[in-house]
Structures are given as structure tokens and as C-alpha cells.
């Protein structure tokens, strides 16, 4: 794999840009995968997404402008789109089990054992994190 994008936060302003970046890279021919960490897995399991505190005060403006631009703010649409584009989406089965959310993870996200996810880090030519 060329690039592994790790999405660490469950905030809208990290999930959406991370999935947009993955989709753009895939469309440019990169072999890209996405790994969701604890907070992102919980957000998808609960179906509850918020902006980070520093961005939240702009939520109304963001939603209004995104609607005008025809851009969805629904992270599930980005998740479904990334999967439809052939981007592998992963989460850690141990993290999901510890949180008690394993059965609530969307079908687009494949839960893998921790050792398998670690292999992605070793095999990836580049790891992009911070989302």
C-alpha cells in the first residue's frame, strides 16, 4: 500500500477531510487505505458527529455554505463514497470490543485484529495521521 490515512478523532472536521483526502488520492491512482481509531469508531458506532470545539462556533455557517455548494456534511455519505471508490476502510477489532461497539460499526468499516492493523503501518510507504 502506498498511503495509510489514520483518522484519530471522531469530529466532523477530521473525519470528512480525511475521507476527502483518501478519495482524492485514490482518484489520482494511489493505493490508499484508511484506518479509524477509537474516537472515530465510537462516532460511527453511535452515529453522533460533532465539530471540534474550535470549529463548532462556525457550524451553522459551515452547514449553510456546504449546502449552497452541494457538499454533504454527513460523514456516512463520505464513508459510503470512499468504500464505493474501492478504498479499504479499517478499524481495530480489539478497540471496538473494549468499547462494546463491535456490533454497531458500519458495514463499510472492516474490523481487523490489532496485529493485522500493525502490519499496515509496517507495509505503508507513507502514513498520514493527525486527522
> Model confidence over 77-95: pLDDT tens digits?
999 999 999 999 999 999 9
Is the torsion defined by CA of 54, 60, 65, 69 positive or negative? Answer: positive
Q: Which fold has domain 3-128?
A: Hypothetical Protein Ychn; Chain: A, (3.40.1260)
Q: What are the C-alpha distances in Å from 91 to residues 11, 18, 30, 72? A: 16, 14, 20, 23
CA nearest to 3, candidates 131, 116, 127, 130: 127
Dihedral pair phi/psi, residue 34, rounded to 5°: -125, 135
Domains of the chain, residue spans = 3-128
pTM of the model: 0.91
Beta bridge partner(s), residue 32: 3
pLDDT in tens, 27-86: 999 999 999 999 999 999 999 999 999 999 999 999 999 999 988 889 999 999 999 999
Amino acid at each position: 500500500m502506498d498511503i495509510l490515512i489514520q483518522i484519530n478523532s471522531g469530529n466532523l472536521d477530521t473525519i470528512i477531510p480525511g475521507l476527502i483526502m483518501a478519495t482524492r488520492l485514490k482518484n489520482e491512482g494511489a493505493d490508499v487505505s484508511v484506518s479509524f481509531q477509537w474516537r472515530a469508531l465510537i462516532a460511527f458506532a453511535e452515529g453522533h458527529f460533532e465539530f471540534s470545539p474550535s470549529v463548532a462556533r462556525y457550524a451553522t455557517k459551515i452547514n449553510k455554505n456546504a449546502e449552497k455548494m452541494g457538499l454533504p456534511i454527513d460523514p456516512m455519505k463520505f464513508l459510503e463514497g470512499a468504500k464505493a471508490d474501492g478504498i479499504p476502510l479499517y478499524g481495530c477489532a480489539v478497540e471496538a470490543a473494549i468499547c462494546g461497539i463491535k456490533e454497531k460499526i458500519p458495514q463499510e468499516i472492516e474490523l481487523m485484529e490489532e496485529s493485522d492493523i500493525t502490519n499496515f503501518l509496517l507495509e505503508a510507504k507513507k502514513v498520514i495521521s493527525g486527522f
